[in-house]
Structures are given as C-alpha cells and as structure tokens.
C-alpha cells in the first residue's frame, strides 16, 4: 500500500475555536486552573478521573477477574546497566529539592496518574520546561537508554509535534516540546525494581525494570496534527505504520471474517450505539485512569486467521512493540505469540483509503488501540486522519509491571507487595 499524506489540517486551524481562544495568554498552570472551572473538563474528565484514582489496582480484564499466572520473572534483555547509569547521572545533576520532587516509592499511586491531555493537573516529578537544559538532557538520556532508537525517535517526535501544535494555535506556553513531566519510581538498581514515567500532551510512557526484565506500559502516543508541514520540524510524521498496516489487515480478511470484525460502520452517529463515544477518549477504552476497565473481547478471533492473515496481524503488532529495545521486543512478541489463538481483532469505521477508523487488538497479555480523533485544538468536528491516538496496555494486572513486582517481592523478599507506605500503595 502506498503511503500518502493525510488530509489537510490547515482549514481547521481557527483561532476563534473556543479551545484555542480560551487558552490564549495563559501559561500551563493558569490553563489547568481554568480547566477546573470548565464544566466539560470538570464534570467529564477531572471528576471521573478523581473517582477512578481511588480504586485499588486490578488491571484491565474482560470480566473483572484477573487471569492468573500469565506473567513470569525472566530476563528479556532490558538494558539495565545503561538505564541505571543514565538515571544515576540524572540524579547527580539535581539538588536535594529536585530529587525530592522527582522520586517516588516503587508502588506509589502517582504511577497511575498519567494522562495525555495538555491540562497540567498532576504536578508530580520534574516539568521539563521548568528545569535547566542540562537536567532536561539528562532526563532524555534515561529515556534514550531505555528504548529502541525507533522508540526514542517516536517519543521525541510526539514532543516536537506538540511544539508544532502550540505554534499553530499561538500558545507555546501550554503546548511545547518540553511540556512534559518526568518521575522516577524506586531507586535505580540492576537487581531491585525501579522505573520511570514521562507524561504530557499526547504522550505517556511508563517503564518498569526488574533486573534484566522490562515492562513498557501503559504506553500512549498521539498527535494533533500527526505531521508537520513547515517550520523546523517539517516532514516529521507519526503513525503511518499503525494506520496503513491496520488497513492492510482488515482488507486481508475474508468477507465473513470482516463482517465479524467490523462492529460498527460509523465513527460518529449512524450505527454507533449511544455512549460508545465518550469524553475525553472518544472511541478508546483503555485511556488514562482506565487501569481497571472491563473490556470484553469483540470482533474476529485470530484462531480463524490464515497464515497470510496472521502475518498481517504480526506486522501490525510489531509497530506497537518496537519502542522497546531489541531483547525486550523479542521476549514481548514471544509472550504475545503464546496467546495468539486467544487474540481478537475488531474495527469501527470504514476501510477505504480516505476513511477514518478505530481498531483494537486484544489478548490476555496485550491490548492495542488505534483511533482517528475529531479536533481538540483544531476545529474539525468529525474524526480526521491527521489526529491519531494510540495506546498499548498489558492486561490482567501487569500494567506498570505490577504483577512482576508482586512476583519479585514474593520470591526475593518473602512478601506479597513492594515495600512502601500504605498511603502511596497501589493497593
């Protein structure tokens, strides 16, 4: 399939658009304060998040019950030594007050407060646009040491496209390349568990490492627009593979399989049931604060796929695990492969080249979602190919590596949970 430029976003850059007009002249702190008084943000985003934040962690499941014994402690090639070296270098750049802001207990609830909005509501960790350039570079070095080259480039491009969006709408004090928060959890170590989180607009990475084993989820990446057509980041573009490989897969299905896979043909209205599209995640189900979401399997089961169809699926899944370093990618793919016959693929929307769509890949050990979104800062009321959200989760209790933490503390310390204050505990 020939890659093409997505639809033109320029007609939808409107400074009279309420979301743009309302944030003019505000910095990130003022913009967040204004959100607390905005009925839509307050009642449909902030209040539900606050309620979900109070629930003990279970994990994404299909019926509310965690499938046991899916995960095991075994090295997967995580670059632990390089990660620890980079984190130690970062700590050496910071003063005591900054380290206190940066560091949390390994089981701190702050893990679960990531979100992908521009609203600076959760002031945890260090804000990249509020620290020195050397400290910022030291943070990026931790991220770089933890990811593949492709994963690091995608992360940085999401940040750069956020700057591009800020320039489009005239407020780089809220939307810029550095409007992200970074936190450390636990103490960097090559044997004890620790991790980091980078979160902000259209980006949230949660990385936990136990010895030589890594978990990178929840992992959210998005962009509005998903490409830059001028300026210093001209030519940057995200999610071509996730978009086109998804189309290749749905087109590769037989008529009967496609009928099973396509849940609804409309992204908005039409045959889409009321309530399926929601604020703020639109068609996504596994977004921010949805750590305990019950998501039943839907669509076509991969056990019915031919070898050729499985190759298309595998090619698509690879686009979502490639942010991990090579060894961890191989191990993750093996883990996914063990449950391939219990994997489901579903679709909402059209399948023509210019259509917008949502799809989900779901198994006991992975949840992948792709969604074309309507405008937030741009004025398009309908979903468009130039605004994309993607998410990867590890269902049945291993987001944030929590099941690995449980196993580690059972096996290494004879306890059933990480040490840490009850106030901060996931449970």
Sequence-distant contacts of 172-175: CB under 8 A, at least 24 apart: 173/26, 173/27, 173/28, 174/23, 174/26, 174/27, 174/28, 174/31, 174/118, 175/118, 175/201, 175/377
Q: What are the tokens at 214?
A: 């890594």
Q: What is the pLDDT, as a whole number, of residue 5?
A: 73
**φ/ψ (deg, to 5) at 198:** -120, 120
Query: According to the model, what pLDDT value does residue 424 have?
Result: 38
The per-residue pLDDT for 423 is 29
How many other CB atoms are there within 10 angstroms of residue 254's CB atom?
A: 13
Residue in the block written with tokens 């607390």: 36
Average pLDDT over residues 326-336: 97
For the chain, what is the mean pLDDT? 95
What pLDDT score was predicted for residue 421? 33
Residue written as token pair 């030589």: 212
Percent of the chain past pLDDT 90, that is, above it, reads 92
**Amino acid 2: pLDDT:** 54
Of 89, 95, 54, 102, residue with least CA distance to 198: 102
* Confidence (pLDDT) at 391: 98
- CA separation for the pair 399, 70 (Å, rounded): 13
Q: What is the mean pLDDT of residues 292-298?
A: 98
Name the helix (H) or strand (E) containing 360.
Answer: strand 357-362
Taking a C-beta distance cutoff of 8 angstroms, is the pair 342, 360 a contact? no
Statement: the pTM of the whole predicted model exceeds 0.85: yes
Residue 159 pLDDT class (50, 70, 90 cuts)? very high
Grouping H, G, I as helix, E, B as strand and the rest as coil, residue 240 is: helix
Dist CA 243 CA 370 (whole Å): 8
pLDDT at 420: 38
- In this predicted model, what pLDDT tens digit does every residue of 207-226 receive, in sequence order? 999 999 999 999 999 999 99
* 419 — pLDDT class (breaks 50, 70, 90): very low
Tens of pLDDT, residue by residue over 228-241, are 999 999 999 999 99
Residue 16 pLDDT greater than 90, yes or no: no
134-149 mean pLDDT: 98
pLDDT for the residue 4: 72
Strand partners, 209: 194, 214
Q: DSSP string spanning 13-58?
A: --TTSHHHHHHTT--HHHHHHHHTT-HHHIIIIIHHHHHHHTSPP-
Average pLDDT over residues 366-395: 97
């Amino acid at each position: 399939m020939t890659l093409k430029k997505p639809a033109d976003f320029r007609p939808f850059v409107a400074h009279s658009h309420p979301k743009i007009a309302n944030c003019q002249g505000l910095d990130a702190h003022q913009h967040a304060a204004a959100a607390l008084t905005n009925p839509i943000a307050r009642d449909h985003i902030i209040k539900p998040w606050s309620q979900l934040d109070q629930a003990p962690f279970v994990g994404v499941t299909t019926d509310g019950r965690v499938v046991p014994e899916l995960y095991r402690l075994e090295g997967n090639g995580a670059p632990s030594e390089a990660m620890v070296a980079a984190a130690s270098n970062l700590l050496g750049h910071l003063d005591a007050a900054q380290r206190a802001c940066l560091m949390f207990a390994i089981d701190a609830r702050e893990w679960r407060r990531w979100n992908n909005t521009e609203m600076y509501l959760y002031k945890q960790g260090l804000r990249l646009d509020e620290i020195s350039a050397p400290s910022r570079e030291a943070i990026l070095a931790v991220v770089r040491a933890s990811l593949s080259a492709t994963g690091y480039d995608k992360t940085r491009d999401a940040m750069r496209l956020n700057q591009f969006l800020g320039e489009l709408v005239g407020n780089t004090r809220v939307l810029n390349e550095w409007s992200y928060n970074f936190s450390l959890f636990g103490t960097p170590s090559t044997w004890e568990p620790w991790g980091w989180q980078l979160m902000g607009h259209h980006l949230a990475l949660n990385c936990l490492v136990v010895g030589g084993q890594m978990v990178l989820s929840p992992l959210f990446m998005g962009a509005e627009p998903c490409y830059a057509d001028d300026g210093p980041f001209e030519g940057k573009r995200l999610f071509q593979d996730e978009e086109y490989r998804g189309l290749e897969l749905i087109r590769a299905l037989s008529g009967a399989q496609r009928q099973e896979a396509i849940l609804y043909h409309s992204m908005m209205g039409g045959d889409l049931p009321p309530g399926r599209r929601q604020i703020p995640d639109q068609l996504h189900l596994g977004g921010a604060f949805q750590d305990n979401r019950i998501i039943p399997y839907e669509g076509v089961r991969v056990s019915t796929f031919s070898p050729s169809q499985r190759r298309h699926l595998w090619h698509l899944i690879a686009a979502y695990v490639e942010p991990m370093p090579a060894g961890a990618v191989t191990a993750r793919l093996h883990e996914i492969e063990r449950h391939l016959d219990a994997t489901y693929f579903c679709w909402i929307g059209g399948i023509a080249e210019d259509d917008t769509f949502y799809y989900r890949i779901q198994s006991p050990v992975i949840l992948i979602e792709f969604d074309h979104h309507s405008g937030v800062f741009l004025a398009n009321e309908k979903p468009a190919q130039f605004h994309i959200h993607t998410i990867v989760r590890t269902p049945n209790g291993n987001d944030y590596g929590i099941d690995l933490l449980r196993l580690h503390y059972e096996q290494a310390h004879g306890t059933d949970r990480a040490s840490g204050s009850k106030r901060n505990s996931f449970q």
